Amino acid sequence: MKIYFIYSTFNNLKSAKSLASKLVKNKLAACTNIIPTIYSTYVWKNKTYTDKECSMIIKTTKSKVKKTINFIKANHSYECPAISAFPISDTHKEFQKWVIDQTK
C-alpha cells in the first residue's frame, strides 16, 4: 500500500494542532508535522496578501487520502483551504508498515 503526504496551511498554530489531534485520533493520519511559521503570498478576491500562517504535513495511506482531505476541508477555517496530496515513491518498509498500522 502506498504512503501519501498531505500538505495544508492554517491561519494559526492552535487550529493546526487541534486538527492534527483529530486526524490522528480518527486514524486518518499516522502522524502530522506542523511547521509553526511560514509566510504566504497570494491573491484572494482580487487583492494580494502576505500572511503569516503555519503548515502541516499529514502522513497517511492511499486508501485514506480522500477521506482525510474531506475531513480537513470540513474542519478548516478557510473558505478555500490549500490541501494537496503527494504519493511517496520510496520509503523504508518499517515506516510504511507503521503508517499502515496506525491508520487501520
Angle between helices 65-74 and 13-25 (to 10 degrees): 140
pLDDT value at 1 more than 80: no
What pTM was estimated for this model as a whole?
0.94
Please count the CA atoms within 13 angstroms of the CA of 83 that sit on its side-chain side. 20
* Percent share of the chain, pLDDT over 90: 99
32-63 pLDDT per residue, tens = 999 999 999 999 999 999 999 999 999 999 99
Evaluate whether 58 touches 71 at the Cβ level (below 8 Å): no
- What's the CATH fold of domain 3-95? Alpha-Beta Plaits (3.30.70)
Domain ranges of the chain: 3-95
Q: What is the mean pLDDT of the chain?
A: 96
- Contact criterion met (CB below 8 Å) for 53 and 16: no
Has residue 94 got a pLDDT over 80? Answer: yes
